Amino acid sequence: MRKALLKRTTAETEITVDINLDGTGSYDNQTGIGFFDHMLDQLSRHSLIDMIIRAKGDYHIDDHHTVEDTGIVLGQALKQALGSKKGIRRYASCHLVMDDSQIRAVLDLSGRPFLIWNNEMPTQKIGLFDTELVREFFQAFAVHGGVTMHVDQLHGFNSHHLVEATFKAVARALRDAIETDPRKADTIPSTKGAL
């Protein structure tokens, strides 16, 4: 079973992440940040990764530490749940459209973290949520999950749509990348023999 349960506690945050890569996309995410919970729900639902996330943070300062640290722990949980990565497809991409917004997400579960981010938000806020935190979340997720990730905004003018399309595009690509390749189910997808 490709599952992981991780907890991380610092002076700034307390994060617990429980995931099942072979799930149905069920979720129960409570971070204390409403819009962020909604985005994590999208990530779970469209990747088919079951997620239960609990986060408490130093909200009296701002949401930065909570969002970033959630990305850290979720990335670590992904890495742990993938194990040796035997049989996965490894590479995946998704072009996703949501109303005015079109996002392209391309992933490689290579073990070599790297983020290319070409996604500019028209506004600094969506309600009370700082839009710059979207990149911070994915940066933390990519680094701690060992994911090479390129995210490109092709169209869009509505910040809410752009962020939601981004989470959904990454989710759909992640779904394909973690799936077992029936033609190579017992093989590491690398000529090196390890990822």
Q: Mind listing the pLDDT tens digit for each residue in 131-160?
A: 999 999 999 999 999 999 999 999 999 999
Asked, for residue 17, whether it belongs to a domain, the answer is yes
Asked, for residue 63, whether it belongs to a domain, the answer is yes
Asked, for residue 185, whether it belongs to a domain, the answer is no
Asked, for residue 8, whether it belongs to a domain, the answer is yes
Residue 80 identity: Q
Asked, for residue 191, whether it belongs to a domain, the answer is no
pLDDT of amino acid 75: 98
Average pLDDT rounded to a whole number, residues 58-86:
97
Question: CA-CA distance, 72 to 101, in Å (whole number)?
Answer: 27
Residue 88 is classified by DSSP as B
Asked, for residue 19, whether it belongs to a domain, the answer is yes
Looking up residue 148, the CATH number of its domain turns out to be 3.30.230.40
Residue 31 is classified by DSSP as -
* Residue 38 near residue 67, CB atoms below 8 Å: no
Average pLDDT rounded to a whole number, residues 61-69:
97
Q: Which domain holds residue 166?
A: 3-178
Asked, for residue 189, whether it belongs to a domain, the answer is no
Tally of domains in the chain: 1
Nearest residue to 20 via CA among 3, 43, 1? 3
Asked, for residue 142, whether it belongs to a domain, the answer is yes
pLDDT of amino acid 110: 96
Res. 1: pLDDT tops 90? no
Residue 77 identity: A
Average pLDDT rounded to a whole number, residues 157-164:
98
What percentage of residues in the chain have a pLDDT greater than 90? 99
Q: Mind listing the pLDDT tens digit for each residue in 10-22?
A: 999 999 999 999 9
Mean pLDDT of the chain: 97
Question: CA-CA distance, 8 to 163, in Å (whole number)?
Answer: 26
Average pLDDT rounded to a whole number, residues 158-169:
98
